[in-house]
Structure 1
Amino acid sequence: MRLIILLRASLVALLLLATNTWADPAVWRVSTGEDSELWLLGSVHYLREQDHPLPDVIERLYARADALVMEIDLDDLDPASIQTQFMLAALLPASSPLSSVVDADVYRLAESTAGSLGLDIAALARVEPWLVALTLMDLGMTQLGYRSDQGLEQYLLERAQRDRKPIYGLETVTDQVRVFDGLTPAEQEALLEQTLSELDSAGREMDELLTAWRDGSLATLTDKLSASFEEFPGLYETLVIDRNRNWLPELERLAAQPGRHLVVVGALHLVGENSVVDLLRERGLSVEPYALPDE
């Protein structure tokens, strides 16, 4: 499912995207020297069992990489600790339950949607709207067969752990919690409302998004990830652009180090204006579409 954000590409960017279509998931190469190489690979966080095995280019990139870089270093994290951090940050006062902080129509839709997913809305009564949105999105994806534990990041994490490859993160769980918890009440309600409106078409949207991702169709990815978000530019700025900018120092540091680093982040961060690709280029780095040589 798409995040509630605007991903608006400029005319020039769209023309470039239209000519850069891979037969595999899109990859960019950041080069700063003969002994340093960094690859940027866009990820789809939710996959189904039937989506495996993954495209061969991913297996080959991983095999060539000396280290794996993800949005968060999941290697050192305890799932229970993550859940606790999110729940504590999203806890509403007993005097201000969810039903009192969102529009009545939005609450009724959240209640019926939660029920259809097997969850009593009472379980979310003291949860801020942003976490309600994430919870319902996750439940909806699971019902459709899409699961985060089948996703690209989890697959590569387990590979790297077995192979004892170094694993780095561009941000911490605390950073992610702060981003969502820092949304204004209006932005949180917008996030929830948009999530609820998209659940009915989530299966079709995910199928189309996954096809575009596997084919490396950047124009389609940009279109899918930007549709219907024009009303929420502030949300896009907070959830995507600000994080892209925050990642730059670490990406520049890794790009300057000897070795090959495979960077795997949500595809959303690599397309459109103010993408990681564009921001690295603005900093003077060479970032070009990359195709692995034939074996």
Structure 2
Amino acid sequence: MRPTRSTLSFGRFDFDRLADRLYRFALLFPLLLVAVFFLTVATIEAKAQEKNRPTCGTDLSAELTAEQKRAIGEKAAKVPAGEGIYWRIEKAGIAPSHLLGTIHVADKRVTELPEPIDADLRAADRLAVEVTEIGDAATAMGALYAKPDVLLLPNGQTLDDLIGAERRKKVDAMLEGRGIPPASVRTLKPWFIALNLAAPDCAALQAASPADVLDGTLIARKRADGSEVIGLETVEDQLSAISSLPMDAQIEQLVALADFGDRMNDTMETMIQLYLKGHIARIMPTLEAAFPNGGMLVGAGEGYAAVEKTLIDDRNLRMVEAMEPLLEKGNGFVAVGALHLPGEHGIVETLRNRGWSVTRAE
């Protein structure tokens, strides 16, 4: 159900328009690579006959040379827990739990779980996800009403003040292509505009309801069987993470989207293909090779290190601390965005450093 209309407005921006925009586009992280793998509240409506199309983009890996693929493989091989989306978590005297890396699209290739994973989900006593409010547009709206500074530019600034006229034309053209009047978002922060542009325009990757994405289906199934479902974060936590991003980083990724936004469907398809193969550590190097000048879009901009620390590394630790009580009870099932799993500061290595045995379960 959509949030009720409100008469609240801040400056020249009407939150009535935002309510509809939130319900029709993604709300949360500004970087595409993060947005896809973290929680989304994507509700773009799709035609039923188009929604079941198996693909809507081209796998960019096919455009790479053998040398590029070799270099990507070598780089990924050095990343701890860089392969695999499904893990078994154990400690002496405690029933094992399982950890699934997710990708937040409604594509059936993702939402229809392999039988071994499906069986573990059915048998689990409790489920932990990043946030439990998937599909709850009212909660997202309430959080934004409480913190309008997260969304609105300060001191009367507009997008015109932040980016050059030539790039503004590109951004405006993309917005108009999505049916968004540029004037309606001129006072919004770049992260929100970018996330609107990053949302795929391919029906096969869109959700008629947030519950259609993988995380939403997991929540619905465990609630239906009476299991406990807990959130490792809140919407407010995630909005706070967004609000802490430097403005330069937000602008940099918006400009990157303006330059490469016409290949979002290809980017999504590439991510899905690598995800299904469990090649998580290859995702960002593959996109960087495909878009050598992609900057923040492929995790290569000057400000990306700060973004990675804020939106991935710091949250990894907080989520591990939140999930450990569930793990101590045993027989739990944890589902978080797949990009949270690999790396020295990833969830797998963090759990290992805190005394848990974590092994691939595929």
Higher relative contact order (CA 8 A, sep 6+): 1
Percentage of identical aligned residues: 26
2:258: which partner in 1? 196
Report the CA distance shift for 1:191/1:119 in structure 2 as closer, same or farther (over 3 A): same
SS of residue matched to 2:130: strand
SS state at 1:136 partner: helix
Structure 2: where are the runs of 5+ without partners?
Answer: 1-31, 36-71, 290-297
Instruction: Determine helix, strand or coil for the equivalent of 2:99.
Output: strand
CA distance in 2, matches of 1:288, 1:225: 27
Distance 1:166 1:142 in 2: 35
Aligned to 1:229: 299
Tell me if the contact between 1:69 and 1:167 (Cα under 8 Å) persists in the aligned partners.
Answer: yes
**Count of aligned positions:** 279
Contact persistence 1:3–1:225 (CA under 8 A): no
What does 1:86-101 correspond to in 2, within 5 Å? 86=144, 88=148, 89-93=150-154, 95-101=156-162
Mapping of 1:178-193 within 5 angstroms?
A: 178-193=240-255
Task: Judge conservation of contact 2:79–2:343 (CA < 8 Å) in 1.
Answer: no
Alignment of 1:272 with 2:343, yes or no, is yes
Pick the aligned partner of 1:134 from 195, 198, 201.
195
* Aligned residue in 2 for 1:41: 100
CA pair 47-180 structure 1, distance change in 2 beyond 3 A? same
Q: Give structure 1 stretches of 5+ with no counterpart.
A: none
From 100, 107, 116, give the equivalent of 2:177: 116
Q: Is the 8 A contact 1:21 1:216 kept in 2?
A: yes
- Mapped contact 1:209–1:224 kept (Cα < 8 A): no
State the secondary structure of the residue aligned to 1:29. Answer: strand
2:88 is paired with a residue whose SS is strand
Question: How far is the alpha carbon of 1:180 from its aligned partner?
Answer: 0.6
- Describe the shift of the 1:226–1:56 C-alpha distance in structure 2 as closer, same or farther (beyond 3 A): farther
CA distance in 1, matches of 2:228, 2:83: 31
For residues 192 and 96 of structure 2, the distance between their equivalents in structure 1, rounded to whole angstroms, comes to: 37
Structure 1 residue 272, shift from structure 2 partner: 2.7
CA contact (8 A) 2:79 2:344 kept: no
Tell me the distance in 1 between the aligned counterparts of 2:34 and 2:255.
11
Distance 2:114 2:258 in 1: 31
Q: Deviations over 1:240-270 (max 9, x none)?
A: 111112222112222212x311111111111
Following superposition, the deviation at residue 124 of structure 1 comes to: 1.0
Asked if 1 retains the 8 angstrom alpha-carbon contact of 2:202 and 2:265, the reply is no
Structure 1 residues 147 and 33 mapped into 2: Cα distance closer, same or farther (>3 Å)? farther
2:143 paired with 1:85: yes
- Residue 260 and residue 197 in structure 1: after superposition, are their counterparts in 2 closer, same or farther (change >3 A)? farther
For residues 73 and 137 of structure 1, do their structure 2 counterparts lie closer, same or farther at Cα, with a shift above 3 Å needed? same
Runs of 4+ in 1 over 6 A off after TM superposition: none
AA in 2 matched with 1:189: I
In the alignment, structure 1 residue 254 sits paired with structure 2 residue 317? no
TM-score (norm 2): 0.68
Structure 2 counterpart of 1:69: 128
In the alignment, is the contact (CA less than 8 A) between 1:2 and 1:225 conserved in 2? no
CA deviation map 1:165-198 (0-9, x unaligned): 1111111111100011111110111232233344
TM-score by length of 1: 0.82
**Post-superposition offset of 1:92:** 2.5
CA contact (8 A) 2:103 2:338 kept: yes
